[in-house]
Amino acid sequence: MEEKAAGKENKEAQAVSNLEKRTAIKKRFATMPASIVFIPAGGRSGFVFHKLLLDLNKYVRKINNSAVFGDILEVKAKHGRIKKLCYETWEGLKDIIPRFHAFDPKHWADINETMDERMRLINRAAACVINPIDDNVAMLAMAIKVLSEKFNEYQAKSDFDNLEKIAMLFRKIQADLTDLMGQNGNKQGSNT
Amino acid sequence: MSLKVGYITGFIVVKSLPDYDSYLCKLLDSQFLAQLPKKWARKEYKIGESDWAAVFDMVGARITLSQKSPQYVRKILEYLLMPACAELNLKIKRTAWVTGYSFHKVAVQPQNGDVGSSRELMAVIKPYIEKINIKDYISENISFVRYSHDLKAFVVNALCPPGHEDKIYKVIHHVEMNQVDVMADASAIPAILGINGRNIVLAQKLCKCDIAVKPLSISVFDKFKEKY
């Protein structure tokens, strides 16, 4: 019995230590000037978007590195596909949230939080942080952030019509991103 | 969205937190969660209802909202009375409220010199107030006080109404003690004090000084005047 209790205590201490480590890493990332902090919608399953964005960051880095010895036209085409996906996502977002109608997603930094606000937000266990490698990743991350924000709001209001629209858009983003990055290899952004 | 103490923000009630005796709210257009204590809420909210509140406190990740704080009352009144402020050239200077009291005192400074007392100020603002429904934003009553740079005049304005200026014989300002003695007719004392002395407490808070009200009869006052 005592051994069991000791084991349980050890596990709890380990969990607390891991959480502290994770929070410290997240805080370090949140202090970076272009970082985006967001709380993904959909609870635990929403973390797949964080994973997808991290994968997209890596993917863009790989494309950029391949430009040195690879085919520049192919690199340009890949960047074009990412950009197209970003703009499609924002078009879908504008249909659901009309106040962004006149908003140019290139100006994503205008609606990003200040450093203090990011540090305040990062204290929540569910908060995710992404340091986008370029504007396309940032635009997509900001779209996911805005959609998650609105998703939580509609959840509180029990507005299921709009919830469904956002959920469909989320699924589309996930499918498109997986398709985009998984063309040359394994399926990306999956927790399972 | 920029968030600072005193800023007005929209919120939506996500759930009730019985352990904290407050509502868990999501701030509109941001991912911040905040607590609105029930004692500082304007009314009882249901889940999914949205309203406005002022950021009262921010400690670490915890944000506390209030619908009774001076910042909230001031900003909401500035918004609601915008036409009055523009046309009559009024400026809201201070607000004061104490927990449990049924009214806020709001100091308003008229930039034009044609408003002499709090009663005149109230008469001037009344047509604008009738057009709006303040109760939709602030659950307490509002008592407007004419602001004055002269502390003695400001204290008299803060006490009247419900007191009467003509029943106040003398006002003495003790600068070192930051205290103002108000000598008024004994019959006017209850009106000046208010229920359980609430009027005095709010006037003290509004004027940021101690106020002592002393009863005086007119005969004693006349003697006093003759002597000195």
Chain A's closest residue to B25, CA to CA, is A156
Q: B8-66, which class in CATH?
A: mainly beta
All structural domains of chain A with their residue ranges: 54-111+130-184
CA–CA min distance B166, chain A (Å): 54
Contact B213, B180 (CB under 8 A): no
Given the candidates 3.30.499, 1.20.120, 1.10.10, 3.30.300, the CATH classification of the domain at B68-147 is: 3.30.300
Using the beta-carbon criterion (under 8 Å), do A153 and B61 form an inter-chain contact?
no
Which is it for strands B90-96 and B210-216: parallel, antiparallel or unpaired?
unpaired
Q: What is the ipTM of this complex?
A: 0.72
How far is it, in rounded angstroms, from Cα B204 to Cα B69?
17
Task: State both tokens at B7.
Answer: 């800023």
Same fold, B68-147 and B150-228: yes
Contact A134, A142 (CB under 8 A): no
CA–CA min distance B30, chain A (Å): 6
- Where does the pLDDT of residue A191 fall: very low under 50, low under 70, confident under 90, or very high at 90 and above? very low
CA–CA min distance B71, chain A (Å): 21
Using the beta-carbon criterion (under 8 Å), do B2 and A114 form an inter-chain contact?
yes
Nearest to A146 by CA among A41, A48, A27: A41
Determine the Cα angle at B95 with ends B94 and B96, to 5°.
Answer: 130
Task: State both tokens at B125.
Answer: 């603002």
Which phi and psi angles does A114 have, rounded to 5°? Answer: -75, 170
Q: How far, rounded to the nearest angstrom, does the alpha carbon of residue B112 sit from its chain's CA centroid?
A: 22
Which phi and psi angles does B39 have, rounded to 5°? Answer: -70, -20
**Residue count (chain B):** 228
Residue A35, pLDDT score: 92
Which residues of chain B have a CB within 8 Å of the CB of A113?
1, 30
Cβ of A96: how many Cβ atoms within 10 Å?
17
Q: What is the mean pLDDT of residues B21-32?
A: 88
Query: Model pTM?
Result: 0.76
Which phi and psi angles does A140 have, rounded to 5°? Answer: -70, -40
Nearest to B67 by CA among B30, B20, B106, B99: B99
Which residues of chain A have a CB within 8 Å of the CB of B10?
none
Q: What is the mean pLDDT of residues A9-38?
A: 85
Q: How far, rounded to the nearest angstrom, does the alpha carbon of residue A64 sit from its chain's CA centroid?
A: 21
Q: What is the mean pLDDT of residues A96-105?
A: 88
Contact A36, A139 (CB under 8 A): no
Residue A192, pLDDT score: 37
Binding-site residues on chain B for chain A (CB distance < 8 A) = 1-3, 12-14, 26, 28-33, 47-48, 58, 60-61, 63
CATH of domain B150-228: 3.30.300.20
Cβ of B148: how many Cβ atoms within 10 Å?
20
Residue A183, pLDDT score: 58
Kindly state whether A27 is in contact with chain B, defined as any CB-CB distance less than 8 angstroms: no
A52-86 pLDDT, tens digit each: 999 999 999 998 888 887 788 888 998 999 999 99
Q: Which of residues 141-160 of A touch B (CB under 8 A)?
A: 145, 148-149, 152-153, 156-158
| Best residue of A100, A149, A155, A159 to probe chain B, by most B CBs closer than 10 Å | A149
With left for phi above 0 and alpha for psi between -120 and 50, is residue B203 left, alpha or beta? Answer: alpha
- Mean pLDDT across chain B: 83
All structural domains of chain B with their residue ranges: 8-66, 68-147, 150-228
Average the pLDDT over each of A86-95, A118-127, B160-169, B182-191 and give the range with the smallest value: B160-169
Kindly state whether A120 is in contact with chain B, defined as any CB-CB distance less than 8 angstroms: yes
Using the beta-carbon criterion (under 8 Å), do A124 and B60 form an inter-chain contact?
no
Kindly state whether A38 is in contact with chain B, defined as any CB-CB distance less than 8 angstroms: yes
A106-155 pLDDT, tens digit each: 998 888 888 888 888 888 888 899 999 989 999 999 999 999 999 988 88
Per residue, the 3-state secondary structure of chain A, as one string, reads CHHHHHHHHHHHHHHHHHHHHHHHHHHHHHCCCCCEEECCCCHHHHHHHHHHHHHHHHHHHHHHHHCCCCCHHHHHHHHHHHHHHHHHHHHHHHHHCHHHCCCCHHHHHHHCCCHHHHHHHHCCCCCEEECCCCHHHHHHHHHHHHHHHHHHHHHHHCCHHHHHHHHHHHHHHHHHHHHHHHHHCCCCCCCC
Residue A146, pLDDT score: 92
Using the beta-carbon criterion (under 8 Å), do A113 and B1 form an inter-chain contact?
yes
Q: What is the mean pLDDT of residues B207-215?
A: 85
Per residue, the 3-state secondary structure of chain B, as one string, reads CCCCCCCEEEEEEEEEECCCCEEEEEECCCCCEEEEEHHHCCCCCCCCCEEEEEEEEEECCEEEEECCCHHHHHHHHHHHCHHHHHHHCEEEEEEECCCCCCEEEEEEEECCCCCCCHHHHHHHHHHHHHHCCHHHCCCCEEEEEECCCCHHHHHHHHHCCCCCHHHEEEEEEECCCCEEEEEEEHHHHHHHHCHHHHHHHHHHHHHCCEEEEEEECHHHHHHHHHHC
Chain B's closest residue to A151, CA to CA, is B31
Question: Is pLDDT of B204 > 80?
Answer: yes
Q: What is the mean pLDDT of residues B128-153?
A: 84
- Where does the pLDDT of residue B150 fall: very low under 50, low under 70, confident under 90, or very high at 90 and above? confident
What's the Rg (C-alpha) of chain B?
20
B27-67 pLDDT, tens digit each: 988 888 899 999 888 888 988 888 999 999 888 778 999 99
Strand partners, B179: B174, B210
Using the beta-carbon criterion (under 8 Å), do B61 and A113 form an inter-chain contact?
no
